[in-house]
Amino acid sequence: MADLKWIGGTSSDSTNVNNWIDLSTGSAPSSVGAGDVLNFGDASIRDCELNQTSLGIIITDFPFVADGRKLVFTQGTLQVVHVNLAHGQIIKFTQSSTTVTFAGTHGTAAPYHDHPLILNGNVTYDTGGNAKTTVTFIMKNGNSSAAHLTDGELPNVTLDGKFTWDAPHEDVTAARDPDATFSESNCCKLTITSSATFDNSPITYSFTSTQKHVRVTGQGSSSGQHFACAAAICDFSNAKLTIDAKNSQQMPCTNDVTNFGTSTDFIALLEDVVVGNDAGNGNKNIIPEGLTLECASLEIQSGSYLYGGGTNLQTSAKSHIHVIEKPTIRGTWNFEETTDGIYSSIGGVSSASIHTLKSDTVHILGKLTVDGLIDPTGLELTPVGSNPGGTTANTLWLNSGDSNKLYHGSSEVSGGSSSLDFCHWDDIDAEITVSNVGSNELIDNWTYSSGSTAIRDAMSSGVWTCTSALAGTYLVISKIQFGSGTLSETGGVNYKLQNLNYHNAGGGTPSSGTLHNFARHMNSDFYSGYCIETQFMLTIANTDTFGVYGKIATSSGTGNYKIKNPGNGSTSLTMIKIA
């Protein structure tokens, strides 16, 4: 890789080696290739016409801009590794359609910091060339870490690979010219490919200073989606997304596999959503009939419309909006509030809100697939005539053809005259004082209440050790109530309450094994009196051990807390052997 400096001594042709100086030798290089770093700074006497179809790293500096020099893209297709443009840089595109592919091999450390493209301020699309609406930047990312999309005025953008909306590295933000017009990624079109993924951190910073803002204007689009996502998950959960109104644009709604996602899957994770106005008054974005737009906040700018309920407001299914904050409506919509935070389109046929991520009730018409753990306080099954599961042996179901008895796979586990072995510990002998915030505390003093004495006798000092006679599959229900100690309850402090169930195959201390199941709840301001319950299946073999642990982690503060013994099953353990 050579470090080359543009002089333009003989012409504006980037392929002419006499227009370059190799900074390591002070003379012209032997070639200009895809592995080189191309520097555009002082001493240049001409614009540069990029005539190659594959280049390495392009960096322009202020002296090049101050001299009024341009970067001229002459090829219809061009691949680059990284581009860093100074504030005020003029770029020109000579082809009627230009595609610049960022190869995905950009640096992850300084000065690139996971940015395939960095705009340090405003760029000017030269009026002597073709408009930015004719240009597409394809942003690939072949690195394991997530890439960032630069702020600034962008053409059509395609994301392909792993990306993030987290705040960029401070080196990148510090280099940005304070006079820049755009403190957002301002795209004509934004297309997210089916192979794109997102790696976003929770919002923990100031919205006003560092929340990523992505705006999609639809400039140059007369029809179709100017915001499009073919990935199964569209994650803007820590960003602000503005989609300017154009009459054919659908809003990203979970389960809208017609306009987004794969043919079977689409989930939209949205935080702050704005229906913008770039194309002028009277344009609308659409929430498809029967679907739900879910977000934390919603704004409709003056002159724009948000429309739901399909093309026939008499017969189409209602559209829905679930939003945490009160919407800001400066434009127009055709929705009415049906309950706090839930809005439905006016007119049309009532429809279930197909999917919600932020409501207490979720109605999913298809199959629910969960990669992590499910932590219910109750499970209600609808009787069916045959095993509904794809993996027969793993399904719990009620057999409508056998008096609605509970089946595990093909075997009955409950109903009729059959009985289940169980053991219930209804309390603990005395409350436990936990001295270390953030550490697991084994509940070691269970009080036996009823059930199998064999299961009871396998419990010793909080460790349940399986025997060959007791081996099998259990439905386990554990509950912990937390109580106050010297750990203060303080406004604004987060308390993470946890019920942890460990299984150690082969024996030994349970917590040295596998965290088999857990429940976790984040409380703000207090923790005392809160109960955490888990229900799960545990298959356990001879000599294996099992134990229940409580834990509180806190964002601030020290001191002890209690695991309570108030009775009434508030701290309790039930083990039901079902197979």
What is the DSSP track for 442-502?
Answer: E---EEEEEE-HHHHHTEETTEEE--TTT-EEEEEEEEEEEE--SS---TT-EEEEEEEEE
What pLDDT is attached to residue 38?
98
What pLDDT is attached to residue 364?
61
Helices (H) and strands (E) in the chain, counts: 4, 48
Instruction: Report the Cα 546 to chain-centroid distance in Å.
Output: 34
What is the rounded distance in angstroms from the CA atom of residue 53 to the CA atom of residue 38?
14
φ and ψ of 405, to 5 deg: -75, 155
In this structure, what token pair is assigned to residue 538? 């545990």
What is the rounded distance in angstroms from the CA atom of residue 36 to the CA atom of residue 448?
74
φ and ψ of 427, to 5 deg: -165, -175
Pairing of strands 494-504, 545-554: antiparallel
In this structure, what token pair is assigned to residue 157? 């953008």
Q: Which residues pair with 333 in a beta bridge?
A: 306
What spatial distance separates the first Cα and last Cα of the chain, rounded to whole Å? 65
Contact 521, 497 (CB under 8 A): yes
Contact 156, 133 (CB under 8 A): yes
What is the rounded distance in angstroms from the CA atom of residue 21 to the CA atom of residue 332?
59
Q: Which residues pair with 339 in a beta bridge?
A: 342
Burial 416-452 (b: 16+ CB within 10 A, else e): eeeeeebbbbbbbeebbebeebeebbbbbbbbbeebb
What pLDDT is attached to residue 360?
45
Question: Tell me, what amino acid is at 377?
Answer: T
What pLDDT is attached to residue 416?
46
DSSP state of 73: E
Q: How far is residue 26 from each of residues 5, 21, 29, 342, 352, measured CA to CA in Å?
A: 10, 6, 9, 68, 71
CA atoms within 13 A on the CB side of 86: 18
Contact 9, 19 (CB under 8 A): yes
| CA angle centred on 438, ends 433 and 444, rounded to 5° | 40
What pLDDT is attached to residue 217?
96
The ranges of the chain annotated as CATH 2.60.120.40 are 422-577
φ and ψ of 438, to 5 deg: 90, 0
CA atoms 269, 149, 191, 156: torsion sign: positive
* CATH class of the domain whose range is 422-577: mainly beta
Other beta carbons within 10 angstroms of residue 360's beta carbon come to 5
Beta-carbon contacts of 146 under 8 Å, excluding residues fewer than 6 positions away, are 114, 162, 163, 164, 166, 198, 199
| The residue to which tokens 């990203």 are assigned | 252
Q: Provide the whole-model pTM.
A: 0.63
What pLDDT is attached to residue 380?
83
Beta-carbon contacts of 294 under 8 Å, excluding residues fewer than 6 positions away, are 253, 254, 268, 270, 321, 322, 323, 355, 356, 357, 358
Beta-carbon contacts of 174 under 8 Å, excluding residues fewer than 6 positions away, are none
Instruction: Report the Cα 465 to chain-centroid distance in Å.
Output: 40
What pLDDT is attached to residue 425?
95
Contact 267, 366 (CB under 8 A): no
Q: How far is residue 155 from each of residues 165, 183, 216, 311, measured CA to CA in Å?
A: 19, 16, 10, 32
Cis previous bond, 376, omega within 30: no
Question: Tell me, what amino acid is at 146?
Answer: A
The closest of 342, 324, 318 to 273, measured between CA atoms, is: 324
The closest of 61, 138, 54 to 100, measured between CA atoms, is: 138
Pairing of strands 185-187, 197-198: unpaired
Q: Counting Cβ atoms within 10 Å, is residue 30 exposed (0-12), middle (13-18) or buried (19+)?
A: exposed
E strand segments, 217-279: 227-229, 233-244, 249-250, 267-276
What pLDDT is attached to residue 358?
39
Contact 2, 29 (CB under 8 A): yes
What is the rounded distance in angstroms from the CA atom of residue 55 to the CA atom of residue 50?
9
Question: Tell me, what amino acid is at 210?
Answer: T
E strand segments, 116-184: 117-119, 123-125, 135-141, 152-153, 156-163
- From first to last of its 579 residues, what are the pLDDT tens digits of the chain? 899 999 999 999 999 999 999 999 999 999 999 999 999 999 899 999 999 999 999 999 999 999 999 999 999 999 999 999 999 999 999 999 999 999 999 999 999 999 999 999 999 999 888 999 999 999 999 999 999 999 999 999 999 999 999 988 888 988 888 888 888 999 999 999 999 999 998 866 554 457 899 999 999 987 789 999 999 999 999 999 999 998 889 999 999 999 999 988 999 999 999 999 998 898 999 999 999 999 999 999 999 999 998 766 667 889 999 999 999 999 999 999 999 999 999 987 776 554 444 344 555 656 677 777 777 777 888 898 888 876 667 788 888 877 788 888 877 775 444 467 899 999 999 999 999 899 999 999 999 999 999 999 999 999 999 999 899 999 999 999 999 999 999 988 999 999 999 999 999 999 999 999 999 999 899 999 999 999 999 999 999 999 999 999 998 889 999 999 887 778 999 999 998
